[in-house]
Amino acid sequence: MNNIELEFPDGSKNEFKQGVTVEEVAYSIGTGLGDDCIAGKLDGELVAKEQEICSDAVIEIVTEGSEDYLKVLRHTASHILAHAVQKVFGDVKLGMGKWADNERFYYDFGDLEVEKSDFESIKKEMVSIIEKDFELERVEKSFEEAREMLSGQPFKKELLEELKSEGKKITFYKHGDFIDLCNGPHVKSTGEVKSFKLLEISGAYWRGEESNEMHKRIYGTAFRKEKDLEEFLEKMRKAKKRDHRRIGKEMGIFQINEIAGSGLPLFGPNGKKIIDQLKSYMHEINDRLDHVSVQTPHVYRTELWKKSGHYENYREDMFLMDVDDEEYGMKPMNCPGHCLIYKNESRSYRDLPIRYAEDGTVYRREQKGELSGLFRLWGFTQDDAHLFVRPDQIKEEVSKLLESAIDIMKTMGMESSVKLATKNPDKYMGSDEIWEKSERLLKEVLEESDVEWELEPEDAAFYGPKIDFAMIDALGREWDGPTIQLDFNMPEAFDLNYKGEDNEDHRCVMIHRALLGSYDRFLGVLIEHFGGNFPTWLAPEQVRILPVSDDQIGYAEKIKEKLSDFRVEIEDRSWTLGKKIQNAHDERVPYMFIVGEKEKSAGTVSVRDRNEREVRDIEIKEFLEHLEKEIEEKSLELSFIE
C-alpha cells in the first residue's frame, strides 16, 4: 500500500498509509485529540471521522472547540428533526437534511402536510430524543441490504443508486430506532444538541431541480448553549427590521412586480440614484486599475455559447429562444463578448494586459422558489471586467484586484472572509493540469498577501478556480461579494493569442472579476447592512430643507441652488414642523435644514441630522465645505454635528 502526505494547519507535513482514517490521524497525534475528534476537514471539505484518506491532502481535525463544530452539531439536529417528524406524522418520505449555512439546518420531506402550528408537537419529540442522549452510530451496508432497508423511501433509493454507480461506500447513521442514509459527519450523541429552535417552513424542489417534486423543507437552528440561541434569535429580530424588501419599498428603492416577472427588479428614482453612485465609485476604481469600458449585446446566437462552453455546462440556467429557426440565448455572463472584442485585432505581448470593463446586465434562470428580493434574480447588472494577460502577469494583476476588493470592503464598513474555490469534478472544462496550475497560482497570490483565507472545495466556476469574498454585514451575516477568477480554458476555446517577443503566437490567460458581484445584490446587502441609513455619499437624498412656514420657501429655494451639486429636496407641504422632521427622519435623510424667519433674516440654517442631533445658526458655506469633505472621503458616519 502506498503512502500519502498530509499537511496540517500549522504547515507541518507527515506521511501515512493510504486509507488511514481521519480519526486514526488524530490518534497518531495524541490520545486526547483522538478522543475529542468529531470530524475532519480534507482540503477544506467537512468529512466524517471514519473517512478514509486515499490521496495527499490538507487535513484539519474537528473537535468541539473547532469553528466547524456547529455545522456538525446542526447536521445531527437535522436527523433529530427527521426522527421527530416520523414520530409525529408516521410514515413520511425522507429527502435530505444537513446544515444549511453558518446558522441553520434543514430537512426536506416529500408528501408531508406540515404547518408551523405543528412545531410544538415536533419540538416535544425532539426534546425527548435529545434527553435520551442516543449515540450516533455509523453503519456500513451492502447495496442489497441498503435497498431492502429503504423500501418505501423513493428519494433515498435514488441517492443509493448514485452511490452504487459512483462506487462509493454506503453508510447510514443510526440513533435510537431511527436510521438514515448519510455520509456524516455527526456529533457523538443526540444529547450534545443542547439548544435548538424550529424556524420556518418553505418549499424546495427535490435536489434543487425545478422539474422535480416539491418537498416541504423545515428549517431550524441549534447551538451549544441557550445563551447562544437567544443571541441568534435577537439577531434575527434585528435582521427582520433591516429586511431590504421592506426598507426598499418604504424608501422607493425597488419593487418586484409579478406583471413584469419574478426576479426582474424595477428601480425607482431613489434606487437609481444609489446605483449611479455605486457605478461612479466602481468607474473610479476601474480608472485606477487602467480598465477600459466596452459594451456587448444582451442576446447571442447559441453558437457563441457552444464555443464558450456555457451551452454544455450552463444551459439549464439560461434563457433560450428560437428566432427565425435559429436558437439564441440571453447572456448569463459577459465574458464571451469580451473574448470576441479581444479577438477582433492582432495583439502583441507589448499590448498586454488588456482590461475590459462593462456594467453588463446578465440573465440567469434561477428557480422561482429561490428568487428572493435583490438577492436571487433572473436579471441583474454586474460590475464586470475581463483581463487578458500574459502568464507572467497573472500574479501581479490578481494581487491588484485583491487589494481593490479589500478597499471596497473597508469603504463599506464591512469585514470579509476569503475562500479559494477549487474545481468541481462534475462540472468543468479543460485539463486537470491546467486546473492544478490555476489553483496553484491563486494560492500563491493569497499566501503572499496579508489576507486570511481557506479552501472552498469543488465550488469553482466551470472554466476556472476563483477567489471569493464573503461580505460580513453589521449583524455578522455573510453575503456573496467580490470574485476573482483565473481562466486558461476560455482563451483556448476562442483561440485568443498574442505575438511574443519571439514573433510566435502565444496563448493569453483570462482573469474574470466582479468586485461588487452585482449592483443589484450589492444594493440589497447595503440596505440591510446600513438598515436603510446610507452614508451621505450613497444616500438618495442627502439634505432636506424644512421651511417652518410658506414664508420661507423662497429662501429654501436659494439654499437649494447653492447646494446644486448635491441631492437636495425642499419639504413644501403644509405640515407642522414636527411632522416634517419626523417624515424626513422616517425616510432616513442624513441632514435636515430647518429654516424659519430667524434663519432667513440671518442667512443661516439650523442643521439637524437623522441621529436627532441639532446645531443652530450655521453658515451655509460652513456646512457646504463639510458636506463636500464627507462625501469625498466616503465617510460612513454623519460627522457635521459631534
Catalytically annotated residues: 335, 364, 382, 384, 386, 466, 512
Closest by Cα among 627, 626, 561, 559 to 596:
559
Which DSSP symbol is given to 587? T
Angle between helical axes of 519-530 and 269-288 (0-180°, round to 10): 110
Three-point CA angle 291, 296, 297, nearest 5°:
165
The x, y and z cell numbers of residue 51, run together, are: 473517512
Q: Tell me how many helices (H) and strands (E) the chain has.
A: 20, 34
The x, y and z cell numbers of residue 610, run together, are: 437623522
The x, y and z cell numbers of residue 163, run together, are: 452511490
Is residue 564 packed enough to be buried (19+ CB in 10 Å), middle (13-18) or exposed (0-12)? exposed
Closest by Cα among 9, 74, 126 to 455:
9
Q: Exposed e or buried b for every residue in 353-391, given b needs 16+ CB within 10 A?
A: bbbbbbbbbbbbbbbebebebbbbbbbbbbbbbbbbbbe
Distance CA 187, CA 137 (A): 10
Is residue 319 packed enough to be buried (19+ CB in 10 Å), middle (13-18) or exposed (0-12)? middle
The x, y and z cell numbers of residue 569, run together, are: 429636496
Phi-psi region of 284 (alpha: psi -120 to 50; beta: other; left: phi over 0): alpha
Question: Rg of the chain over CA atoms, in angstroms?
Answer: 28
